[in-house]
Chains A and B, each alone.
Chain A
Amino acid sequence: MLGLPHQSATPAEIRKKGGESLTIRWADGHTSTYAARYLRGHCPCAQCVSETSGERLVFEEHVRQDVAIAAARTVGNYALQFDWSDGHNTGIYSFEYLRRLCTCEDCA
């Protein structure tokens, strides 16, 4: 149904563990945990992903080892945005995208 967002991409709970990691428990019961550096290395913004080709320009290995989540906030009802300790903050991570980024054994 178009009227209802998919349970798999609807967060039931979002927890941030200091600057190290973020955990989302989804409405379908699944839980995803993301390390800060992994999330920073998958930033979907136009500086990190080419706007014309869709090619990724900034990878996890380009990001400082000790990068941390300085702050996290929700964007409307549909996404999260982070202030990273390296000063970057332009990526808007939709919940659909975050669910696709899940690194657990079942998803990866």
Chain B
Amino acid sequence: MNPQTVSEAAVLDALRSVMDPDLHRDIVSLNFVRNMKIEGGIVSFDVNLTTPACPVKELLREQSRQAVLDRVPGVSDVRVNMTSEVRRPPAPQTHRIRGVKNIIAVGSGKGGVGKSTVASNLAVSLAKSGAKVGLLDADIYGPSIPIMMRASGEPEMRDQAIEPVVAHGVKLMSMGYLSGEMPLIWRGPMAHKALQQCLLGVNWGELDYLVVDLPPGTGDVHLTLVQTVPVTGAVIVSTPQDVGLTIAMKTLHMFQQTKVPLLGIIENMSWYVCPHCGGRDEIFGHGGASAAAAEMGVPFLGEVPLDPAIRKHSDSGTPVLLAEPESASARALTEVAGALARQISIQAFRSIPLTIVEE
């Protein structure tokens, strides 16, 4: 019996039944299927996703394999290679940082909610998944990222551009570097110029994600950010406590007014992990942020515990995600990073290009 010939068209047809759960389109029309090879009954191809941190990677792999096996006669084996390429949303004519595909603003309503800790762990998690990641510490009031990432040394000037420091696989720049040990005592215009320099005057190179850790609240730095570069979207970190949330809403409204898409809310300090007994105590209440997110129609990206281990590793300069990757906290942060990457991919497909056409 002659083995049935397997055609590329038949395989593609079968793969049209596999839908990306976020983009609501099949993986063929999204152009995710690449490098198809057919050797006898063995079919191999790449599925090129929009982020290496994709939470549904294994599901899509299995669905693709099954679809071809079930629907194409003559196929004996299917080899699916999952790859990824972070897409860039079509950007308006505002200065775009060359080579940087997505800019993610991390904000909070008030200080002390663990925004910088979350931002640095998100950056590390995305980098760990294989993405190229930069982290800009724009918190002029308390630039703390260099400590949390144990970034020794200072950025150097090369060819009139600042060369970022690299720590734990992430390219780092901090507004704190601009003043050394001294506090930044700036009026608005100085903060404005300093942030512009940190965005446009740094040799970021090729980045899939640039995470910007903003100061708490709303102010000059936020406005400069949204007016200088096309921000892909913003993430708000809040505690479950209602008062913290009420203030976080203000930050949400600011991003809404400046047309920055809201990628979601992260609840930090969701519960306390007792270092002695491992017991769980919800000191600030629990679930406030997810309720608020649902009410406002903003994605809820997940919750992170108040774990002494997170604090300890931040202080010693190795984010918990790397220091104790198997801990509940590290797993929670990895999940949040995956949920975030997913929202960014959705946003990249949803946005419409904003350009002014000359007639």
Which residues of A have CB within 8 Å of B227?
A: 75-76
Q: Flag the segment in A13-21, A34-42, A50-58, A98-106 that touches B.
A: A13-21
The residue among A3, A4, A80 with the most chain B CB atoms within 10 A of its own CB is A3
A23 to chain B, nearest CB (A): 9
A2 to chain B, nearest CB (A): 4
Query: Are A76 and B260 interface neighbours, CB within 8 A?
Result: yes
Question: For this complex, into which size category does the number of interface residues on chain B fall?
Answer: 20 to 34
The residue among B227, B356, B358 with the most chain A CB atoms within 10 A of its own CB is B356
Q: Flag the segment in B11-19, B250-258, B274-282 that touches A.
A: B250-258
Query: Are B226 and A18 interface neighbours, CB within 8 A?
Result: no
Query: Are A73 and B256 interface neighbours, CB within 8 A?
Result: no
Report if A108 contacts B (CB, 8 A).
no
Interface residues in A29-81 by Cβ distance below 8 A to B read: 72-80
Question: With A1-B297, A2-B298, A3-B296 as given contacts, are A76 and B359 in contact (CB-CB < 8 Å)?
Answer: no
Which residues of B have CB within 8 Å of A75?
A: 94, 227
Q: What's the Cα separation between A91 and B93 when bound, in Å?
A: 17
Question: With A5-B256, A76-B259, A78-B226 as given contacts, are A11 and B354 in contact (CB-CB < 8 Å)?
Answer: yes
A47 to chain B, nearest CB (A): 18
Which residues of B have CB within 8 Å of A77?
A: 92, 226, 230-231, 258-261, 354
Which residues of A have CB within 8 Å of B355?
A: 14, 74
The residue among A15, A75, A95 with the most chain B CB atoms within 10 A of its own CB is A75
Report if B299 contacts A (CB, 8 A).
yes
The interface bits of chain B over 297-333 (1 if a CB of A lies within 8 angstroms of the residue's CB, else 0) are 1110000000000000000000000000000000000
Which residues of A have CB within 8 Å of B157?
A: none
Question: With A77-B92, A78-B226 as given contacts, are A5 and B356 in contact (CB-CB < 8 Å)?
Answer: no
A57 to chain B, nearest CB (A): 23
Q: Which of A12, A14, A78 touches B257 (beta carbons < 8 Å)?
A: A78
Q: Which of B297, B352, B357, B358 touches A2 (beta carbons < 8 Å)?
A: B297
Query: Are A74 and B94 interface neighbours, CB within 8 A?
Result: yes
Query: Are A12 and B299 interface neighbours, CB within 8 A?
Result: no
Report if B262 contacts A (CB, 8 A).
yes
Question: For this complex, into which size category does the number of interface residues on chain A fall?
Answer: 20 to 34
Query: Are A73 and B356 interface neighbours, CB within 8 A?
Result: yes
Q: Which of A5, A11, A18, A79 touches B359 (beta carbons < 8 Å)?
A: A18
Q: Which of A2, A3, A10, A15 touches B356 (beta carbons < 8 Å)?
A: A15
Query: What is the interface of chain B mostly: helix, strand, loop, or mixed?
Result: loop
Question: With A2-B296, A2-B297, A3-B297 as given contacts, are A74 and B357 in contact (CB-CB < 8 Å)?
Answer: no
Q: Which of A13, A18, A73 touches B357 (beta carbons < 8 Å)?
A: A13
Q: What's the Cα separation between A2 and B354 when bound, in Å?
A: 21
Q: What's the Cα separation between A92 and B256 when bound, in Å?
A: 16
Query: Are B356 and A78 interface neighbours, CB within 8 A?
Result: no
Question: With A2-B252, A15-B356, A17-B359 as given contacts, are A73 and B93 in contact (CB-CB < 8 Å)?
Answer: yes
Interface residues in B149-187 by Cβ distance below 8 A to A read: none
Q: What's the Cα separation between A5 and B347 when bound, in Å?
A: 13
B104 to chain A, nearest CB (A): 14
Query: Are B258 and A78 interface neighbours, CB within 8 A?
Result: yes
Query: Are B296 and A74 interface neighbours, CB within 8 A?
Result: no
Q: What's the Cα separation between A75 and B356 when bound, in Å?
A: 12
Closest to A77 in B: B259
Interface residues in B215-231 by Cβ distance below 8 A to A read: 226-231
User: A residues engaging B (CB < 8 A)?
Assistant: 1-5, 10-18, 27, 72-80, 94-95
User: B residues engaging A (CB < 8 A)?
Assistant: 92-94, 226-231, 252-253, 256-262, 296-299, 352, 354-359
Not counting A2-B298, A3-B296, A77-B258, a sample of 6 additional A-B residue pairs whose C-beta atoms are within 8 angstroms of each other reads A4-B297, A14-B357, A27-B352, A73-B93, A74-B94, A76-B260
The 5 closest A-B pairs by CB, nearest first: A78-B259, A1-B297, A77-B259, A74-B92, A2-B296
